[in-house]
Every structure is written in structure tokens, then in C-alpha cells.
Amino acid sequence: MDDFDNIPEQALAWHEDGSGAVLATVMQTWGSAPRRVGAQLAVSGDGEIAGSVSGGCVEGAVIVEALEALEDGGARELEFGVSDDDAFAVGLACGGTIRVLVEPVGGSMPGALLRELCEARAARRSVAYVADLESGARRVETEGHGDRFRMDRSGFEGESRTFVAVHNPPLRLIVVGAVHIAQALVPMARAAGYDALVVDPRETFATPARFPGTRLSHDWPDEAVAAEAPDLRTALVLLTHDPKLDDPALHRALASECFYIGALGSTRTHAKRVARLEEAGFAPHEIGRIHAPVGLDIGAAAPAEIAVSVIAQMTRVLRRGS
């Protein structure tokens, strides 16, 4: 998984072992920016670092500010701009500007609050760190930020001076059906940051040789999906073309908070699927959550092309909503 996923935990460890720690968070970007809003850099009192707020072009200045902030305990708001002429030298395609919030742990960011944040992350709960830059108040919230959680979008609340940093659990993908499309889809998903699980009770299909380095389950699909406890950071893709395997998993998924559900099959196949779901008691708005035929309509034919269309559709739903 992403090397930047444990930044708050590293900062907490430094704080609790007495080294001192500062968290720097990207609040806003304009133009070319190698790290998105919410990206973090942790700096210890000994000058160790973890994570990044840019492509390396401003880290040095942020570290200096962080160590100074650790001395006085106050938060700092920094702004850095890179001109088009200088951009190439620091790895940017063109110029850009970023704003960074620097917070010493135990100072402007209470240590107990960071611990609460890390505990929520460990429990796979979506959590928002809310910083009121006007009053200096800080808090963590697990409710009230549905759209931000769903689209993984940190940022300011409207025109206010309240910054919300979203901390979501790692993305997961459950693939039902260890078929050729799955063989192409899983490595693409892994590259996009997903922890993938392939489910297929047919043991000759779901093998380590066909899916190296991938978690495999030979349980019946509904049992495997239930065991994973799908949440807002989970996508489910059904690829077996067999109602006996797909439908039980689909029933579980529709009762969960999966952010994406995709099912392989033609329009005619999906019409039959809809009829079965209606007969099983699912409402139109529930059935409407299913993306079928799965993937964006890009004219995909080969397994790898279909996998590309599925990853693209998953990304669009994750970032923009259905």
C-alpha cells in the first residue's frame, strides 16, 4: 500500500517517545502540484521526516518552519509558489502554488486529538481532522462529512477558514470470479492503491499461479463478501457471468456501503439480473447502484481493455460520485 499511509501514526510515535513531532498538511493547491490537498509530511524534533507535501521542491523550507514551530508550539500557514521557468528544475510540468498548514503535536495540535485520529484510522473508520484557523480550535469528527469521505476530498469549508483533512481507510477491491479479466484487473487495481481480494469457490481458477501476491478466497461469494464487511472504501466487481455465484455476493453488496458495484454482462443479461433482484425484494434505487454492463463505454474488447474501463469507472465514482 501507499508509503504515505502511516504519516499520522509516525508523528504520534515521535511525539510519544519524546522526540517531538510536527505535521505539515497541504491545504490548497493552484496550477501544477505533485501532491494533492490533504497530503502530509511528518517531521520529528531530530529532523527525521516521513511523507511529502510536494515533489521535493519545498520540503526543505517546510522542515525549517516545522522545527521552529516545535519550539513555540504555534501553527503556521505557509505559501509557496514555483514559476513556470523554475518548475522543470523541481519536477513540475508547469508552475504552481501550494498552501501548507504546519502544526506541532502537543502544541496547536493536541496529542490526545492525534491519538484519537490514529485510533479511528486503525479501526477503519473514516475520520475528519477539522482545524478552525480563525479560532485555533481543533477536533476530529466521524460524522457529517459524507461527500468528503466518499470522494476522499480534503479542503476548506466554502469560503470559511475551516480546513477539513479527510483520513479514509485504504481502498479495497473484492473481485468475484477468477477469470481472465480479473487477472488484468487486479494488478491495475493494486497500482491504483487497492488491496484486492479475489473470490472464487472454483479452486482451479483462483490459484496463486494465476494471481501472484493476491489474497484469494475459495468461500462461497456471499460468505466471502460478508467476511470482508464492505464499507465506503470498498468496491465490488462481479465477473463470473454465473448467477449462482454473482447473485449471492450482489445481495450482500447491496446491503452494504460499497462505493462501487459493477457487474459483467450485456444489457440483456443485466435485465435478467434486475428481474431476479426485484423478485428478491430489492428496490429500484438499490438496484440502480449497480454499474452494468461494468466499466466505462470505451469500446473495450480484450480482457485488459475491459479492466482499464472498470478501473476508470471505479475512479470516476470514487472521485466524482455516481
Q: Tens digits of per-residue pLDDT, 85-133?
A: 555 555 544 556 889 999 999 999 999 999 999 999 999 899 999 999 9
The pLDDT of 304-313, averaged and rounded, is 98
Last residue in a domain, options 167, 188, 223:
167
Indicate whether 2 belongs to any domain.
no
245: Cβ–Cβ under 8 A, 6 or more apart, which residues? Answer: 176, 177, 200, 201, 221
Indicate whether 83 belongs to any domain.
yes
Output the pLDDT for position 317: 94
Output the pLDDT for position 3: 41
189 and 238 within one domain: yes
Cell readout for 120 is 479511528
Output the pLDDT for position 35: 80
204 and 305 within one domain: yes
296 and 221 within one domain: yes
Last residue in a domain, options 151, 167, 183:
167
Output the pLDDT for position 232: 85
Average the pLDDT over each of 87-91, 258-262, 291-295 and give the range with the smallest value: 87-91
72 and 125 within one domain: yes
Last residue in a domain, options 141, 167, 193:
167
32: containing domain: 7-167
231 and 152 within one domain: no
27 and 126 within one domain: yes
Output the pLDDT for position 1: 34
CB atoms within 10 A of CB 207: 15
Quick one: which of 292, 289, 295, 290 has its CA closest to 309?
295
Output the pLDDT for position 248: 94
Indicate whether 69 belongs to any domain.
yes
What's the domain count of the chain?
2
273 and 150 within one domain: no
Alpha-carbon gap, residue 59 to 51, rounded angstroms: 10
The pLDDT of 41-54, averaged and rounded, is 93
Indicate whether 1 belongs to any domain.
no
Output the pLDDT for position 43: 97
Mean pLDDT of the chain: 91
Indicate whether 96 belongs to any domain.
yes
Indicate whether 32 belongs to any domain.
yes
